[in-house]
Amino acid sequence: MVVASLLASHLAMAHPHGWIDMSVRVITDDNGVATGLHQTWRMDPFYSLVVFEELQQVPGGSMEEGLDQLGGEIRDNLAAQHYFTEVRIGSEKQSFGDVTEYTALERDGRLTFMFILPLTSSQPLSGQVLEYQVFDPTYYIEMVHEEEGDEPSPQALILNGEPECALSVLPADPDPELVMQAALLDTDEEGEPGLGRHFAETGRVDCR
């Protein structure tokens, strides 16, 4: 179960196709060179409730200690999945370094995981287009940018510096057959690896 392996095996739950609201800040230095992505993931309310109830039942432990441990488990499990993230600058797919800055916390009743995903090699954005997708490969979890109304929130994608760059979040446009395939998954089933890519929104930073 992807939800269980993502967040911690002992916190498994039977809630297929949960969702995560995310926001991304592209980190650049003073010269407009991209160094990484600061991501904030807010787990859906039902899953968050299950996690908090589990943590409260741990004998002798505090909620803060439980969240600290959970944050490390999330980080470790995501590392094996490339943090559910793909980034391209121009035509080049980017690789990532180790995530060392992360935290799990409760915010407005939602389990929130925040982390900085560093690029292995810093890349100048001037004259380039950076695109990223964040998705669960099996589509057990739906990953969507934070919204206001029916549109991505202005805070869903932020860039440090480089004011000339145009920011946009492009909606997914999956083939109807894939939509049907996802809809037919049973409550305990995952999609084929790669299914989630077709339902992923694309964040774009256009600095050309």
Taking residues 100-113, what's their average pLDDT?
Answer: 96
In terms of phi and psi (left: phi > 0; alpha: psi -120 to 50; beta: otherwise), the region of 187 is: alpha
The pLDDT, as a whole number, for residue 187 is 53
CB 206 within 8 A of CB 164: no
Query: pLDDT value at position 136?
Result: 87
CB 70 within 8 A of CB 89: no
Residue 11 — very low, low, confident or very high, per pLDDT cuts 50/70/90? very low
CB 138 within 8 A of CB 192: yes
Give the H or E element holding residue 48: helix 45-56
Average pLDDT (3-25) is 60
- Give the confidence band of 16 by pLDDT, cuts at 50, 70, 90: very low
What's the pLDDT at 108?
94
Q: Nearest Cα to 130, choosing from 155, 157, 148?
A: 157
**CA 112: distance to chain centroid?**
11
- Spell out the SS3 assignment of 21-46: EEEEEEEECCCCEEEEEEEEEEECHH
Q: Of the given ranges (57-61, 71-75, 111-115), which has the lowest mean pLDDT? A: 57-61
How far is Cα 112 from Cα 90, in angstroms, rounded to an integer? 31
Q: What's the CA gap between 111 and 127, in Å, rounded?
A: 38
Number of other CB atoms surrounding residue 41 within 10 Å: 23
Whole-angstrom distance, CA of residue 83 vs CA of residue 183: 25
pLDDT band at 178 (very low <50, low <70, confident <90, very high): low
- State the average pLDDT for the chain: 84
The token pair at 89 is: 């600058």
Confidence tier at 13 by pLDDT (50, 70, 90): very low
Give per-residue pLDDT as tens, 125-145: 999 999 999 998 877 888 999
Classify the C-alpha dihedral 188-191-204-80 as positive or negative. Answer: positive
- pLDDT (0 to 100) of residue 31: 87
Q: Per-residue confidence at 198, pLDDT binned at 50, 70, 90?
A: confident
- Which residues make Cβ contacts (< 8 Å) with residue 203, sequence separation at least 6? 24, 131, 132, 133, 134, 145, 157, 167, 168, 169, 170
Domain boundaries of the chain, sorted by first residue: 2-206
Q: Does pLDDT of 122 surpass 50?
A: yes
Q: Which residue has the higher pLDDT, 13 or 69?
A: 69
In the chain, how long is the greatest CA-to-CA distance? 55
pLDDT at site 188? 53
Least confident of 11-25, 39-53, 90-104: 11-25
Mind giving me the DSSP string for 110-140? EEEEEEEEEEEEEEE-TT-EEEEEE--TTSS
